[in-house]
């Protein structure tokens, strides 16, 4: 027979264990509820941030439509230099009050400011990496590795790298196809620490804008000598747009002009004086901690209007 004192001790112990269990259960439920509330709050903030980004992008479209409508209505022989045009949409949007009033930020980047990493040949790629100061030996290694990444075979070039090299390093194998995004460059051997090159290589097949592309991109164009690149920089410093390649070539020395004209068919295909497209990126930010929603659209000119040909969204 259990003594009354021992029985009371067992009862007290059982009560304490029940209380501990209930407390633990309550704490668990509270944590679950807190997480659920936090997830709901994050979803709400993400939705609000995306609405803000959508608002900013739509305001930008209003400004773009107004610029193109005004340009189409201009009956004069030429548009004044200070009037906004398709080539200067970024300035028009930056100075528009309707965009300044939005609860978001927007940037416009013209197409044709990067070399298309999927179509550029070895000559263009080599000229580009040399233009940013890469030594010739390393330039060959970078270019061959990049070409090996996108080609369809597994045979490495003399200075390149294919599946066997990446497997030996425990790294993902080459795509053996076109790059999906410029950020994929960091997976290519040698490009992990090549800061700056990722901003000069892209995946859009736009013609290079002579007045807007970075000078290393201009230097990568066939037929452009150091003198021709320096002349482009001079035009930009004076705020004097380059109207066409033939007129521009007349400003060069005989040797530089001959080099440019020798590649004129290629340059006529690869370059333009106005962007083929604009990349509009709108960001909405809200909540604490902050949630940033990003909306990116690609605008192309369609007569007197602009058309969206690509739309992407993500959270940062």
Residue 261 has pLDDT above 70, yes or no: yes
pLDDT tens digits, residue range 109-159? 999 999 999 999 999 999 999 999 999 999 999 999 999 999 999 999 999
Which pLDDT value is given to residue 289? 84
Per-residue pLDDT at 30 exceeds 60: no
The Cα 255–Cα 31 span in angstroms is 75
Q: Which of 84-93, 101-110, 189-198 has the lowest mean pLDDT?
A: 189-198
Model confidence at 171: pLDDT above 90: yes
Q: Find the range with the poorest average confidence among 11-25, 131-145, 245-259.
A: 11-25
Q: Is the pLDDT of residue 20 over 80?
A: no
Q: What percent of the chain has pLDDT over 70?
A: 84
Q: What is the pLDDT of residues 63-92, one digit of tens each?
A: 999 999 988 776 454 545 556 789 999 999
Is the whole model's pTM more than 0.85, yes or no?
no
Mean pLDDT of the residues in the chain = 88
Q: Which residues pair with 100 in a beta bridge?
A: none
């Amino acid at each position: 027979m259990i003594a009354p004192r021992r029985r009371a001790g067992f009862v007290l112990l059982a009560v304490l264990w029940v209380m501990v269990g209930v407390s633990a259960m309550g704490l668990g439920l509270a944590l679950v509820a807190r997480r659920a509330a936090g997830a709901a709050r994050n979803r709400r903030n993400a939705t609000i941030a995306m609405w803000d980004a959508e608002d900013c992008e739509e305001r930008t479209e209003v400004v773009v439509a107004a610029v193109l409508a005004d340009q189409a209505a201009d009956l004069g022989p030429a548009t004044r230099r200070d009037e906004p045009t398709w080539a200067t949409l970024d300035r028009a949007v930056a100075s528009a009050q309707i965009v300044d009033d939005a609860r978001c930020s927007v940037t416009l980047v013209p197409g044709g400011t990067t070399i298309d990493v999927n179509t550029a040949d070895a000559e263009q790629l080599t000229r580009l990496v040399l233009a940013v100061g890469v030594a010739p030996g390393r330039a060959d290694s970078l270019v061959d590795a990049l070409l090996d990444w996108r080609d369809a075979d597994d045979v490495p070039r003399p200075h390149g790298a294919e599946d066997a090299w990446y497997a030996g390093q425990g790294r993902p194998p080459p795509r053996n196809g076109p790059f999906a995004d410029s950020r994929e460059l960091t997976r290519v051997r040698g490009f992990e620490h090549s800061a700056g090159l990722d901003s000069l290589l892209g995946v859009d097949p736009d013609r290079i804008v002579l007045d807007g592309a970075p000078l290393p991109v201009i230097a990568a164009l066939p037929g452009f000598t150091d003198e021709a690149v320096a002349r482009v920089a001079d035009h930009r410093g004076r705020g004097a747009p380059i109207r066409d390649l033939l007129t521009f070539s007349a400003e060069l020395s005989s040797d530089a002009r001959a080099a440019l004209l020798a590649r004129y068919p290629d340059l006529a295909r690869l370059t333009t004086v106005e962007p083929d497209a604009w990349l509009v990126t709108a960001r909405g930010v809200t909540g604490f901690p902050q949630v940033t929603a990003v909306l990116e659209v690609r605008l192309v000119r369609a007569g007197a209007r602009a058309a969206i040909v690509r739309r992407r969204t993500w959270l940062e």
